[in-house]
Amino acid sequence: MAQVQPKYRPFQAVRLPDRRWPDAQITHAPRWCSVDLRDGNQALAIPMTVAEKHEMFRLLCEIGFKEIEIGFPSASDTEFNFTRELIEKDLIPHDVSVQVLVQAREHLIRRTIASLQGARRAIVHLYTPTNPAQREIVFGLSKEQVLEMAVQGAKLIRELTSQLPQTEWQLEFSPETFVLTEPEYALQVCEAVAQAWGASAQRKIILNLPLTVEAGTPNTHADQIEWFCRHLSNRDMAVISLHTHNDRGTGVAATELALLAGADRVEGTLFGNGERTGNLDIVTVALNMFSHGIETHLNFSNLPKIREVYERCTRMSVHERHPYGGDLVFTAFSGSHQDAIKKGMDRRAKQGTDALWNVPYLTIDPMDIGRSYEAIIRINSQSGKGGVAYVLDREFGFDLPKLMHPEVGNLIGQYADKLGKELSPQEIADKFRAEFVNVSRPLALLDFRTETLSKESVRCQADVLYRDQKYTLQGEGNGPISALVHALAKQGWADFKLKDYRSHALSAGSESLAAAYVALQSQDGRTVWGCGIDPNIELAGLKALVCAANRLS
């Protein structure tokens, strides 16, 4: 039996033996609400300036958020004035609802409603302490007192907002912290607040059920949400909203399972900025849905720009391994991963861009969120032949024959190991050129001429420099390359057999270069490749032959 740790106790999960959420699927996006300007901002060591809050608000609108919690206007003049500035300068798009947070206290509620006068659409987010620790330790209140506080707060908000009919009002209520509150009591308070607001199918209330402190595994939160939805007296009167944090590192999972359990709405922040280990990361949840073909109604097509604004305004940084947004999330160093990605990308290039995305190790196309293919494969000592070939092809146009990959990959891998670092694409190309391209020692081709003897035979005359001495050679064959091999053999310099030859255009246009690849096999069975580059495709092949011969020697 496992030893019990007396200082802590297991999470008390709701009993739901007939749970239905495990068989559900996420088929559409929820309503999204960004709390970057409130929950996110309060978690910053240096809160955003007013200018930064304006920039962040514009960014959130550009992304497509229709509900944005902009602050806690009763808490400070800065928060109040920011709210007024957005409204008075008409900076809020017509289809966006601004949301503000307030405790269930009369003077704070009055100040909050005053801050929202003139808004087209507004959500007043009321919260009260319902879980035992906050009720008893922080506020010293009974269940009855908390219930009365919540109801009176909702009634006052209803009274004050009814006097401002030019605004489309919504009430949001959070039993704080729902996840640690007795389920029956949380339901009782929410029902009472909904009644005080006059909630109905036509006048919905947002019941936000915060996982402010992650205390159990994600499945227990899904059970709580399903239990709540099934026991609510009138499910149609409420929008069930989620607000998860990440204390156990499973905020995204808890949200996704709670959506399966029946929730309609999600609150969170860009990249998960929030108190302690953070709020829910909306970028991750939304792009997880996107990867399954679900329309999210949020635009992350330029995620690098979004990240740049986020990092500048919050002074936070996105980790290199952060899902979707990190520098390395689409990057493979492992040789087997690189090989699989290269094959997937090559296949997709043949299928066309409209084909179903199916590239190993890449859940989405990086281009869909504004990332390039340049950093998909990066080379260090762990990298393999496929990764090196991918970089040389994608970045520099060298379409290496598959049989050439091992030799090039091994050499580049040894080079990275020797340097003890990751190689840049340019370093890879420079090393490849130095070792495999137009190698001209000890043998260099100075001039080459051919004469056609028949449809299947040519004679060549080649001027070469061999070990610093000039020679003129002659040979015959079925083409220029075989003729040069014959000429070299007559001199005793060709102790090999021609095994393979490939060529292709290296770049487009009238000034284009050709690349050719030649494989030679020595008498002891060793195969060596060489690459030749020249504007003339015939000369490129001859240079590749000379290069391979030099490498073999």
SS3 70: strand
Residue 132 in this model has a pLDDT that exceeds 70: yes
pLDDT of residue 3: 64
Residue 29 in this model has a pLDDT that exceeds 80: yes
Whole-model pTM over 0.85 = no
| CB-based contact 475:459 (threshold 8 Å) | yes
pLDDT of residue 122: 98
User: pLDDT category, 387, cuts 50, 70, 90?
Assistant: confident
pLDDT of residue 518: 97
Report residue 421 as tokens: 């670092």
User: pLDDT category, 335, cuts 50, 70, 90?
Assistant: confident
Residue 317 in this model has a pLDDT that exceeds 70: yes
The DSSP secondary structure of 286-321, one letter per residue, reads HHHHHTTT---S---TTHHHHHHHHHHHH-----TT
Residue 232 in this model has a pLDDT that exceeds 90: yes
H-helix or E-strand spanning residue 409 = helix 405-419
Domains belonging to the chain, first-starting first, are 28-292 (3.20.20.70), 335-435 (1.10.287.1400), 443-552 (3.30.160.270)
- The pLDDT tens digits for 169-178 are 999 999 999 9
Is 7 exposed, middle or buried, given 0-12, 13-18 or 19+ CB atoms closer than 10 A? exposed
- Kindly provide the b/e burial profile for residues 229-261, where b requires at least 16 CB atoms within 10 angstroms of the residue's own CB: beebeeeebbbbbbbbbbbbebbbbbbbbbbbb
User: pLDDT category, 338, cuts 50, 70, 90?
Assistant: confident
Task: Write down the mean pLDDT value for the chain.
Answer: 94
pLDDT of residue 511: 60
pLDDT of residue 444: 96
Task: Report how far residue 273's alpha carbon sits from residue 82's, in angstroms, rounded to the nearest whole number.
Answer: 21
Residue 440 in this model has a pLDDT that exceeds 60: yes
Residue identified by tokens 């740790």 is 5
Q: Which of 118-127, 386-395, 408-417 has the highest mean pLDDT?
A: 118-127
pLDDT of residue 289: 98
- The pLDDT tens digits for 533-544 are 999 999 999 999
pLDDT of residue 342: 84
Percent of the chain with pLDDT over 70: 98
| DSSP letter (8 states) at residue 53 | H
SS3 334: coil
> How many CA atoms lie within 13 Å of 476's alpha carbon, on the beta-carbon side?
6
pLDDT of residue 2: 58
pLDDT of residue 381: 67
pLDDT, average across residues 472-492: 95
User: pLDDT category, 60, cuts 50, 70, 90?
Assistant: very high
- The pLDDT tens digits for 69-86 are 999 999 999 999 999 999
pLDDT, average across residues 472-499: 94
- The pLDDT tens digits for 505-516 are 986 555 689 999
The DSSP secondary structure of 140-178, one letter per residue, reads ---HHHHHHHHHHHHHHHHHHHHT-TTSEEEEEEEEETG
Residue 445 in this model has a pLDDT that exceeds 70: yes
Q: Which of 131-140, 291-300, 343-352 has the highest mean pLDDT?
A: 291-300
Distances (CA, A) of 379 to 329, 361, 367, 374, 415: 15, 17, 21, 12, 10
- The pLDDT tens digits for 152-198 are 999 999 999 999 999 999 999 999 999 999 999 999 999 999 999 99
pLDDT of residue 138: 85
pLDDT of residue 509: 55
